[in-house]
Every structure is written in C-alpha cells, then in structure tokens.
C-alpha cells in the first residue's frame, strides 16, 4: 500500500475583488510508496507549491483527498516536515535551539532531545556552529539547519519546496549530495520540488513533471541509477539520457507557460 495517496486533488483560488478565479491545479492523482524520493519538475506557476502545501496541510484542496497511511490530511502535523526556499529559521533561536524546536514542543526529555539534536548537527555538518544565530550563517548553512530541524522530528515524509533555489551552484551541488546521503543511509519518504532538471534526476527515484498552468501531471519517469550516487554520475550517458528526456517533457510546457504569462 502507498504511504501517501493523492486522489483527484485540485485547487481553485477565488478571484480577487470580483476577478476571475484561478485554477492552479487540475485534478491530480499520485501514489507515493514509503521511502520513495520523488522530485517534482514544472514551469513557473504550474501548481507545484500548491500541491506541496496541500500535502503539508498548509492549504486545502478544492476537490479530492490526500491520505497519509490511510488517514485524511486535514492540517499540518509532525508527521510531515517542510523545508522552504526562503530561510525560515527562527532568528531568535540558535542553531541548536532551532533544530530542537519540534522536540521541545513534543515535551521530550532534555537528555534524549540533546542526543537527537547532536546527531543531526553532525549529519548536516554543523558541528561547532551549535551556538550560532541564523544571521551568522551562510545560506547553505541555514538550509542545512532547516533540513536538520525538519528531520529531527522524525517525520514520515519530508516535503521540500525549492530548498536549494537561492544557493550558488557549488553549494547547491554539495547540498544535493548531503540530502541524498542522508536519504540513502536512513531512508525516508521525500517529495522535492525544483526547477532544476539535473537536480531532479540526481536525487530522485522518480521524477514527476507537470504541465503549464493549470498544472497536472504530465509524466512520471523512474530513475534507476545505482546508489550510493556520487556527483560524477551526472557525467554518465544514462544520466544524460534522462536529462534529455525530461528537458523535452518540460520544454514545451515552459514555452506554453511563457506564452500565457
Ligand atoms: N493564495 C493564492 N491566491 C491566489 N492565487 C494563488 C495563490 N497561491 C498560488 N496562486 C496561483 O496559483 C498558481 C500556481 O501557483 P504555485 O505557487 O503553486 O506554482 P509553482 O509551480 O510552485 O510556481 P513557482 O515555480 O514559480 O514557484 C499561480 O498562478 C499562482 O499565482
């Protein structure tokens, strides 16, 4: 049975001041088994963030249902961890306290909490920065803290909305390897939204592409590249073949999106 089941999920936003409503997402079905790593690719405005926010319980579908392990999603919950593109750490908390935030909310005992936080600090390579404030960190370090904060809660699903979109290319590549390495070691169900085809292929077990607005799923491409994946796989013929196929899937949609604003 799939861990996450999306059935007939669509979203229409009401028009502002009597304007036309916006159909952001056409009825969408998607099944995601446990420990899948799904990347979602699509042109700007195709409803990727809308779909992710509905799964997170931060927005609600106009039609359809999302069920997680058989239970309807009705709002946000600790079983789903979210990481956004913009840096969303609590500026008044240190790295350690940001990562500990959800555990403290749960009322976890101090000793257990400290052990979990220390293990995630190590996993995302932030040893020595535990007492830093977010404003003292680079963008990449802030996103590493945000990923650690989301994972420390041990969510069933990790939802990431363009988490590396604001980073320079070099840092972005390192962050891809870091997240993929954690996934390879620990297994976790991941849904990762991105504009970047190479990023989508490198990390995924399956790449979902979406059509231009109003978005719907256009293709689902399995990525059978072996694990552990090293960045050099990006130069392999198999990788190039997948990149080309997805570039073709996305190109016509990007053109359609540009033509219709
Ligand atoms: N709260 C809202 N009210 C009205 N319209 C909205 C709202 N949120 C999103 N939209 C519209 O819905 C469409 C889909 O938006 P969404 O953010 O999901 O797209 P996206 O694929 O994530 O885009 P991008 O890649 O640029 O982030 C867009 O046309 C957007 O303007």
CA proximity to 75, closest of 93, 60, 96: 60
18, part of any domain: no
Residue 7, domain member (yes or no): no
Judgement on whether residues 121 and 189 belong to the same structural domain of the protein: no
What residues make up the domain containing 117?
A: 89-154
| ipTM value | 0.96
One domain for residues 54 and 175: yes
**Domain for residue 54, yes or no?**
yes
Query: Does residue 236 lie in a domain region?
Result: yes
Interval between CA 148 and ligand 1 midpoint (Å): 27
Question: Does 14 reside within a domain?
Answer: no
**101 phi/psi in degrees, rounded to 5:** -55, -50
Could you give the residue ranges of the DSSP H alpha helices within the chain?
48-56, 95-106, 110-123, 139-152, 169-186, 197-203, 237-259
Q: Judge if the upstream peptide bond of residue 214 is cis by omega within 30 degrees of 0.
A: yes
14, 24, 10: which is closest to 63 by C-alpha? 10
19 lies in some domain = no
User: Cα 195 to chain center, whole Å?
Assistant: 12
Contact 68, 157 (CB under 8 A): yes
Residue 6's pLDDT is what? 98
Q: In this structure, are residues 157 and 145 in contact, taking their beta carbons and an 8 Å threshold?
A: no
User: What is the model's pLDDT at position 261?
Assistant: 62
Q: Verify that 94 and 146 share a domain, yes or no.
A: yes
DSSP helix/strand/coil, 17: helix
Output the pLDDT for position 1: 74
Report how far ligand 1's centroid is from the alpha carbon of 47 (Å).
6
Alpha carbon of 214 to ligand 1 centroid (Å): 10
Q: Which residue has the CA at smallest separation from atom 23 of ligand 1?
A: 45
Do 59 and 53 contact (CB within 8 A), yes or no?
Answer: yes
What total number of domains does the chain contain?
2
Q: Specify whether 202 is located in the same domain as 95.
A: no
In ligand 1, which atom is closest to the CA atom of 52? 18
Q: Which residues have a Cβ under 8 Å from the Cβ of 52 and sit 6 or more positions away?
A: 40, 82, 159, 161, 191, 193
Question: What is the Å distance from ligand 1's center to 40 Cα?
Answer: 15
> Per-residue confidence of the chain (261 residues) as pLDDT tens digits?
799 999 999 999 998 888 899 999 999 999 999 999 999 999 888 999 999 999 999 999 999 999 999 999 999 999 999 999 887 899 999 999 999 999 998 889 999 999 999 999 999 999 999 999 999 999 999 999 999 999 999 999 999 999 999 899 999 999 999 999 999 999 999 999 999 999 999 999 999 999 998 899 999 999 999 999 999 999 999 999 999 999 999 988 888 778 876
Do residues 238 and 120 share a domain? no
**Structural tokens at position 191:** 């849904």
Is 22 among the domain residues? no
**Residue 142 forms part of a structural domain:** yes
- The angle at the Cα of 54, spanning 211 to 178, to the nearest 5 degrees, equals 80
Question: Which amino acids bring their CB within 6 angstroms of ligand 1?
Answer: 13, 22, 24, 42, 44-50, 213
């Amino acid at each position: 049975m799939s861990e996450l089941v999306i059935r007939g999920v669509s979203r229409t936003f009401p028009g502002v001041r009597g304007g036309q409503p916006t159909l952001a997402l056409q009825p969408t079905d998607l099944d995601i088994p446990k420990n899948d790593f799904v990347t979602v690719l699509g042109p700007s405005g195709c409803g990727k963030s809308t779909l992710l926010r509905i799964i997170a319980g931060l927005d609600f579908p106009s039609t359809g249902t999302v069920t997680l392990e058989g239970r309807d999603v009705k709002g946000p919950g600790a079983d789903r961890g979210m990481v956004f593109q913009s840096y969303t750490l609590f500026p008044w908390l240190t790295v350690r306290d940001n990562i500990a935030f959800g555990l403290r909310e749960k009322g976890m005992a101090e000793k257990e909490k400290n052990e979990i936080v220390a293990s995630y600090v190590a996993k995302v390579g932030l040893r020595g920065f535990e007492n830093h404030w977010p404003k003292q960190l680079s963008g990449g370090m802030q996103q590493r803290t945000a990923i650690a904060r989301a994972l420390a809660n041990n969510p069933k699903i990790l939802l990431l909305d363009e988490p590396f979109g604001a980073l320079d290319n070099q840092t972005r590549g390192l962050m891809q390897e870091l997240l993929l390495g954690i996934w390879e070691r620990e297994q976790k169900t991941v849904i990762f939204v991105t504009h970047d085809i190479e990023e989508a292929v490198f990390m995924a077990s399956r790449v979902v592409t979406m059509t231009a607005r109003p978005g719907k799923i256009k293709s689902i491409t399995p990525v059978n590249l072996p694990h552990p994946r090293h960045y050099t796989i990006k130069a392999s013929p198999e990788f190039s073949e997948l990149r080309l196929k997805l570039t073709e899937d996305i190109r016509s949609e990007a053109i359609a999106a540009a033509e219709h604003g």
